[in-house]
Each structure stands twice: as structure tokens, then as C-alpha cells.
Amino acid sequence: MNRIQVLSEEVISKISAGEVVERPASVVKELVENSLDAGAKNIVIEIKNAGKKLIRVSDDGSGMSKEELPLALERYATSKISSLLDLKRINTLGFRGEALPSIAAVSKFILISRKENSNNGYRIYAESGKIKENYETGSPVGTTVEVKDLFYNTPARLKFLKTDSTEKEQIFNIIYDLALAYPETSFRLIDEEKEVLNCPGVDNPKSRIAQLFGYQILEYLFPFTETINFYKISGFLSYP
């Protein structure tokens, strides 16, 4: 039997990435949730080869500064919590600071961002989680993340992925779920350079349902609201 030994940081990163990044849809979910946490009102998702060749998520959220960009690829670095007390009042979709470093560890990763009060944007390029380039660049306010060649350095993970049609379906389901939950946010999905979803922001959930599933479905739905202890649930149900 082999002796117990401490794993290298590179191996640890790739193992840890598996807990967050199971498939292309996992990447899309984490990136879009980051955009929503940043207050984005317009989010564009682009994919190629079912997300294996490219996933690009662009938003008009709050953006990151030059100093924050490299920190975004450090594990457990986050802007969403700073103390144990914060864990009791989390109001964001993500908070652990694991998503971006986990994604970067198993891809060729580009992060471009600009804050509203900054004249310039900044760009980072990383491979296998290691930063190769970091420089100033032109950029609109907000953040763009490009994930290229997902799992290129962990080929065994590629073998566990399903067919392209199945992986695409998983991505579409994630976008539909988030679009339903955030009707005020505009979502665009582009597959192989062809727009397959365009949902401008609306002021109520019913309008978003109509955008995604057609107006004819509305006559079969009724709203509900339920409060249990500290939890309030609202939504729509269909008649049997």
C-alpha cells in the first residue's frame, strides 16, 4: 500500500473543482448566479459544442476592480461574506468563493471586468487555475467570463459527459429556471452563434412565464402565496 502523503495544490484544485463543476451546465449556473449577485440587469450566455468548447457569460453588473480580479481566482476569496455572523444572513446565490477558482482549474479561463467608477477594464487569462496574463483593456461596465476547452486537463471527466443534446438541455433548463426566478433581468442565450432565447426584463412573473412558455399557458395557471414560520413561498400552480 502506498504511503499517506499530502497532495499538491494542483491536484487538490482539480479534485475540489469536481465538487462544483460536474458538467457545462454547472459552469453556466455558477457564472449566471454570479452575474445576478452583482446586480446585473442584462445577461448574455453564449455556448459552443454544448459548452465544452466555449461558455461565455457577459453582464452589466457592478464589475470588479484591478485588485479584485486576481483575488477572484483564489479559493475562498469572496465579497459576499466576511464573518461567521454573515452566514446567518446570506442573501446571495453564492458565498463560498469556490466557483471561479474551481472553473478556472479545469479550463482555459478569461475574466474581463470594469467597475462603473473606472475608466478602464482589466483582463486575466489563466490555464489550469494559474494566471498567465493580467493587463488593462477596454471593456464596458460589468463582467465577462469565458470558459474555453472545459476539462481539457482532466480528460477522464469528459468521458462522463452525456451527448451534446443532453448537455445542452441541462444548460437550457438552468437558464429557464433562473429566468423564471428573476423576471426583471434580461436573458439572452446564444448557441453556436444563433440566438435561441431572448427574454427582455419584465415587471412581473406572469409576463416571464408567457415569454418562456407562451401566453396560452396563462389561462391554466393560478397564483398562490404561503407563509410558514419565517418562510414565504409564492408562485403559480396549474389546474389538474
The CATH number covering residue 64 comes to 3.30.565.10
Same domain (yes/no): 192, 228: no
- Residue 87 corresponds to which amino acid? L
The domain of 232 spans 206-240
1 part of a folded domain? no
pLDDT at 7 over 60: no
Give the pTM: 0.87
Whole-number pLDDT of residue 95 = 46
pLDDT in tens, 195-223: 999 999 999 999 999 999 999 999 999 99
Same domain (yes/no): 224, 192: no
pLDDT at 44 over 70: yes
Same domain (yes/no): 124, 229: no
Same domain (yes/no): 138, 229: no
- Residue 58 corresponds to which amino acid? S
Same domain (yes/no): 16, 83: yes
CA distances (Å), origin 53, targets 50, 68, 97: 7, 27, 24
Neighbour count for residue 80 (Cβ, 10 Å): 15
2 part of a folded domain? no
User: How much is the average pLDDT of 89-108?
Assistant: 78
Same domain (yes/no): 191, 149: yes
106 part of a folded domain? yes
Range 212-218 contact pairs with CB under 8 angstroms and sequence separation of 24 or more: 212/176, 212/179, 212/180
Same domain (yes/no): 154, 232: no
3 part of a folded domain? no
- Residue 5 pLDDT grade (very low, low, confident, very high; cuts 50, 70, 90): low
Percent of the chain at pLDDT > 90 equals 74
Same domain (yes/no): 130, 188: yes
Lowest mean pLDDT among 76-90, 99-113, 121-135, 141-155: 76-90
Q: Compute the distance between CA of residue 240 and CA of residue 236 in angstroms, rounded to an integer.
A: 13
Same domain (yes/no): 69, 161: yes
Q: Where are the beta strands (DSSP E) in the chain?
A: 42-48, 54-59, 108-114, 121-127, 130-137, 142-148, 186-191, 194-199, 221-228, 231-238
Q: Compute the distance between CA of residue 92 and CA of residue 165 in angstroms, rounded to an integer.
A: 31
Residues 54/198, Cβ–Cβ less than 8 Å = no
Counted domains in the chain: 2
- Residue 81 pLDDT grade (very low, low, confident, very high; cuts 50, 70, 90): very low
